[in-house]
Structure 1
Amino acid sequence: MDLLRVDDRLTDEERLVRDTARRFTAERIAPHVADWFEAGTFPARELAPELGSLGFLGMHLSGYGCPGAGAVAYGVACRELEAADSGLRSFVSVQGSLAMSAIHKFGSEEQKQEWLPRMAAGEALGCFGLTEPDHGSDPANMRTHAKREGSDWVLNGSKMWITNGSVADVAVVWARTDDGIRGFLVPRGTRGFSARDIHKKLSLRASVTSELSLSDVRVPPSAMLPEVRGLRGPLSCLSEARYGIVWGAIGAGRACYEAAVEYAGSREQFGRPIAAFQLTQRKLAEMEIALGQAGLVALHVGRLKEAGEVTPQQVSFGKLANVRAALDVARSARTVLGANGVTLEYPVIRHMTNLESVLTYEGTEEIHTLVLGEAITGVSAYR
């Protein structure tokens, strides 16, 4: 299926990454993920060293034990991981594109040496504390703040919807200071710092999602990320994570599409497989078109990124278009499977509900629409 043969444009290295990720997910994730989803659990500590040994944690970063892979190779890995489950790709994205990326870009040499090699190996986990209970799309008005007391910094506030929060060994926490927004590294176990898991989710259930609380959390001056001030820091990390979603969403959509094609060929009604009916073929053809177009967008944005030419607006284009396409494919695939489409015996409903979260995080559908609107008109609609 891939009538446009987009993968023929991958290099040998990129195909190796693809095949490695597919084998890993087939052996370690596919047999268990429906059970994890149903139970609302994710074995982050168990999987992290395996993902690290395969080079998937911080794979697009260089040095400090990171592989330094190209943007397309990283994107292909995200696609294959999300074909298993969005929670798996989210775990890898938060570790590499958010927490590790922030330290790699803006940390001191001491911070890099302390954290990056262990995080790349999966021996230490990270999370990224930006979103707050009252400020998701508007981080400039965050309430979490840090004040100087002597030579130390004291942090107070809370962060919400933080992937990996309760399992992280270090949290990258963004806070308002008298000198602008700054990033701080808060290790697990620091007095006054706690993480509480969010339960009763109906989406991204195979993922650790937490609320972070900071009550008079005291950290030394060496905890601050020295090389960035203002929203440029966290937003540049978010752009890295959004790029992974441009690819990852295709994997989720492809898994739904493949399930629909297989089911249509075996399910008989009125004396023949439902694949023989025109309405079913139309649904499958539209899924193929949507995923083919999404694949071309991802590959193009990836090559631009490798050339150092990609813009945040192009990443927003890809995130908005590809997640929307994957969600449409999932919903259509669910109708092909009929009542069976709502059971966890098939991957469709799991991917469909996960994609509802993917549509929202790393910038909502509305925010990315307005990013494109500003690029087109030159007028900002949200400032």
Structure 2
Amino acid sequence: MKNLPYKKEHDIFRQSLRRFLEKEALPFYDEWEQQNYIPRNFWRKLGEQGYLCPWVDEQYGGFNADFLYSVIVNEEMEKVGTGLIGVGLHNDIVTPYLDSFGSEEQKKRWLPSCISGEAISAIAMTEPGAGSDLANIRTTARKDGDEYIINGEKTFITNGHSADLVVVVCKTNLEANPAHKGISLFVIENGTPGFTKGKKIKKVGQHANDTCELIFEDVRVPASHLLGEEGKGFYYLMDKLQQERLVVAIGAIVAAEQMVDITVDYTKQRRAFGQPISAFQNTQFKLAEMATEINIGRTYVDSLIAKHMDGVEIITEVSMAKWWLTDLAKKVATECMQLHGGYGYMEEYEIARRFRDVAVTSIYAGSNEIMKTIIAKRMEL
């Protein structure tokens, strides 16, 4: 963090957000885990305080903040719990599609409500039969006069059950060769006839993060809901994946830092054989190893944040960061649970939640196997 250009206003923003979360999120987080979603009133409070999409232009309700504000929001949310990742998805993954590729009319229609917290957003890429292989999605959008008719099914959609606006990845040209040139993006509003939400999916972790299937049956949307140009959807997705994977990497390094911090505190308090377990050489070595790797990871991800802010293309580096840091976070979770002993397996201890929450980070936003494929391809192997 010391290498990033934080200013006094960034520090004030962080402290303000931290106080807000201590009051409005931490006391209720276990309840949100039980109910499997974050209540809408919390989203509205985030909007009222300026914590949603602060980077958006002032004319739509934002305040033209730099990316460091997004970093701060993602870091402070992760410190509360990974189940708050839906806020980061709304802020820095979905809304940028509207801002970058939307028409002026679309921006005026949707961005203000995304900033105020009145509208929660989601992006629907994954299907029951298509994950990383986006070119083979089966959801279609067929032109019919000045409308499109959308049919298909999406799954594992973060914010899906709460979403008011969904950016949906569709095939508009089934004959396109290569297939990815037939992909387009549409914005579908909650309540549109034919658009239904499946039940919330029961996941191993991230219980506060609502996830569900979305079903589209002869959903008619006006042509004005096409985002950008027809057939350019795949290129829009590729354009935004750099930031998406950087956001995941930021969350992973913060999760690892949090897990080591709570484990250091625990090992100082837990006694065995007449002394704190922090006095045992094995405990010290394990924590020293993790602290070292985390420090290396933090230095790397901060360097990528700086490059991203400068507009540098870091596809290879961010792919490296995404796979290495999420794998590191999973390793840290396992080691920290072990150092907690039997208590680490109890839900009342935070490390248990962290252990189950971090598992999926190596899968979403492109699996780590896909990250290695990208790296290898860009090495011209």
TM-score normalised over the length of structure 2? 0.92
Q: Which residue in 2 is equivalent to 1:61?
A: 56
Matched, 1:207 2:209: yes
Q: CA contact under 8 A between 1:108 and 1:227: conserved in structure 2?
A: no
Q: CA contact under 8 A between 1:83 and 1:253: conserved in structure 2?
A: no
Q: Which residue in 2 is equivalent to 1:30?
A: 26
Structure with the larger RCO, 1 or 2 (CA within 8 Å, 6+ apart): 1
Q: Which residue in 2 is equivalent to 1:74?
A: 70
Distance 2:17 2:326 in 1: 21
Unmatched segments (≥5 aa) in structure 2: 174-180
Q: State the 1:50 CA deviation.
A: 1.9
Structure 1 residues 35 and 342: alpha-carbon distance in aligned structure 2, compared to 1, 3 A threshold: farther
Question: Pairwise CA RMSD of aligned residues?
Answer: 1.9
Amino acid at match of 1:255: Q
Q: Which residue in 1 is equivalent to 2:9?
A: 13
Q: State the 1:42 CA deviation.
A: 2.1
Distance 1:199 1:181 in 2: 27
Q: CA contact under 8 A between 2:70 and 2:92: conserved in structure 1?
A: no
Q: Which residue in 2 is equivalent to 1:355?
A: 358
- 2:165 aligns with one of 162, 170, 176: 170
Moved more, 48-57 or 153-162: 48-57
Q: Which residue in 1 is equivalent to 2:331?
A: 328
Q: State the 1:7 CA deviation.
A: 7.5
CA offsets 1:185-223 (integer angstroms, 9 cap, x no match): 111111100111333311111111010100000011111
Q: CA contact under 8 A between 1:266 and 1:273: conserved in structure 2?
A: yes
Distance 1:300 1:6 in 2: 11
Query: 1:151-230 to 2 correspondence within 5 Å?
Result: 151-178=146-173, 180-227=182-229, 229-230=232-233
Aligned to 2:191, the other structure's residue is in SS state coil
- How many equivalent residue pairs? 372
- 1:45 aligns with one of 15, 20, 40: 40
Q: State the 1:159 CA deviation.
A: 0.7
Structure 1 residues 360 and 230: alpha-carbon distance in aligned structure 2, compared to 1, 3 A threshold: same
- 1:312 aligns with one of 298, 312, 315: 315
Q: CA contact under 8 A between 1:75 and 1:247: conserved in structure 2?
A: yes
Distance 1:73 1:51 in 2: 14
Structure 1 residues 344 and 354: alpha-carbon distance in aligned structure 2, compared to 1, 3 A threshold: same
Q: CA contact under 8 A between 1:255 and 1:348: conserved in structure 2?
A: no
TM-score normalised over the length of structure 1? 0.92
Moved more, 22-31 or 274-283: 22-31
Q: State the 1:141 CA deviation.
A: 0.8
Q: State the 1:60 CA deviation.
A: 3.3
Query: 1:254-293 to 2 correspondence within 5 Å?
Result: 254-293=257-296
Structure 1 residues 118 and 312: alpha-carbon distance in aligned structure 2, compared to 1, 3 A threshold: same
Q: Which residue in 1 is equivalent to 2:342?
A: 339
